[in-house]
Amino acid sequence: MSAPAEVIAPLPGDAVTTTDPNDNNIAVVRISDEELQSGHASTATVGAALGAFHRDGIVVLENAVPLSDIHSLNTTLQADIPALIANPNTNWNGGREVGNISQPPPMTPDLMYPSIWANPFAASVLSALIGPHPQVIYVNGNTALGHSSKRQDVHADLVFPFATTHPFGIVANYYLTDASVDNGVTEVWLRSQRASNFDMHQPSHAYIREEHLQSRAANSGFPPIRPTVRAGSVVLRDLRLWHAGHPNTSDTPRIMLAFVHVPWWYETKLTIALPRSAESLTQSWANRERPHERISYPVTWIDGDVDHTNVKFQGNFQSGNKAYLATVPKGENVSFFEKAGADNVSGSSIQKFHEEKDKEGVAGQS
């Protein structure tokens, strides 16, 4: 395990900070006061974040979200946790014993903060990475409940053959508290996105096979790390990057929101169910004056309220663009969705999927 990311002194003239390119540390790009005031990312921020992301498969934009928005959502979501634990439809990530539940943010316009749903600094980096008008196809969160003791298996968030040459899906994670080893910060394997393909996964699953984990940990120079991430950061992670949830040994649940972005041409069937009252808000994000700050949401509009504590879990991030898919190497592995004969998976079928894995005796990482 490596030390927390070290923030190196800002470069002259801007507030970009990053790590030594050979260090096994996550790169941190700190949004400057000038950028915060203007509300726009500088070219230096976008350049540093893009370079670090393509290299490492992950980058942190620190200071990108007002702490007042973070604290407000943390207060609301902490209060929802007992009901979620009691709800039989709740999705337990990696099996119930891991103590990591899916927990989406509130879906009412007053709590859909633009700093989180369409962060302008993240949007500028995302559109540089995957093209203009990234689409958000997944809005959810991972809550590592307190006093847990079992970790997740190492995985990539993909259960289908995927492109090895370029990023096509990026999750923006927002921890709602400072996150560290003590409260279950996520383990990440820097640069694994460039060495990864679906045949390295346990057949049809998201989990990486043991022999690949051992080999990469021993030989790559980039064994797994668990960085410290400050609240108010956006963590941009390539969906191909190997990672794993860890136990939260503290008293307080650690909440991390997750917004998955794909390119505008990607054509998934996924939509986000939102109340019609949020229509003008989401339109304002799609129509921002600066094209590289636009974020769009494919939406199913609901008349009335959307209960964020009862959202269907949908985890298939595969492209529906057949011409694109024809360019993706097939390999030997069969996708979980082909195996299950389903386009999307509900919480209960994901649960079944974990039970099946346990029955198969797939080696856990704990």
Could you give the C-alpha distances from 9 to 14, 17, 116, 295, in angstroms and in order? Answer: 10, 7, 27, 31
When asked if residue 144 is in the footprint of ligand AKG (CB under 6 A), the reply is yes
For the CB of residue 83, give the shortest distance to ligand AKG in the complex, in Å: 19
Q: Among 245, 247, 253, 347, which residue interacts with ligand AKG (rule: CB under 6 A)?
A: 245
Q: Which uninterrupted H or E stretch holds 272?
A: strand 272-275
For the CB of residue 326, give the shortest distance to ligand AKG in the complex, in Å: 28
For the CB of residue 102, give the shortest distance to ligand AKG in the complex, in Å: 8
When asked if residue 256 is in the footprint of ligand AKG (CB under 6 A), the reply is yes
Bridge partners, 297 (sequence order): none
Q: Among 45, 103, 142, 296, which residue interacts with ligand AKG (rule: CB under 6 A)?
A: 142
Burial of 20 (C-beta count, 10 Å sphere; 0-12/13-18/19+): exposed
Q: Which uninterrupted H or E stretch holds 187?
A: strand 187-188
**159 vs 272, which CB is nearer to ligand AKG?**
159
Contact 32, 15 (CB under 8 A): yes
**34 vs 355, which CB is nearer to ligand AKG?**
355
**93 vs 282, which CB is nearer to ligand AKG?**
93
When asked if residue 101 is in the footprint of ligand AKG (CB under 6 A), the reply is no
Give residues 80-99 in contact with ligand AKG (rule: CB under 6 A). 93
For the CB of residue 123, give the shortest distance to ligand AKG in the complex, in Å: 23
Torsions phi, psi of 325, nearest 5?
-60, -30
**69 vs 157, which CB is nearer to ligand AKG?**
157
Size of the site for ligand AKG (CB under 6 A): 10
- Reduce the DSSP state of residue 26 to 3 states and report it: coil
Contact 293, 71 (CB under 8 A): no
The torsion region of residue 47 among left (phi > 0), alpha (psi -120 to 50) and beta comes to alpha
For the CB of residue 69, give the shortest distance to ligand AKG in the complex, in Å: 20
For the CB of residue 354, give the shortest distance to ligand AKG in the complex, in Å: 11
Q: Give 323's contacts (C-beta < 8 A, 6+ positions apart).
A: none
Residues that bind ligand AKG (CB under 6 A): 93, 100, 142, 144, 152, 157, 186, 243, 245, 256
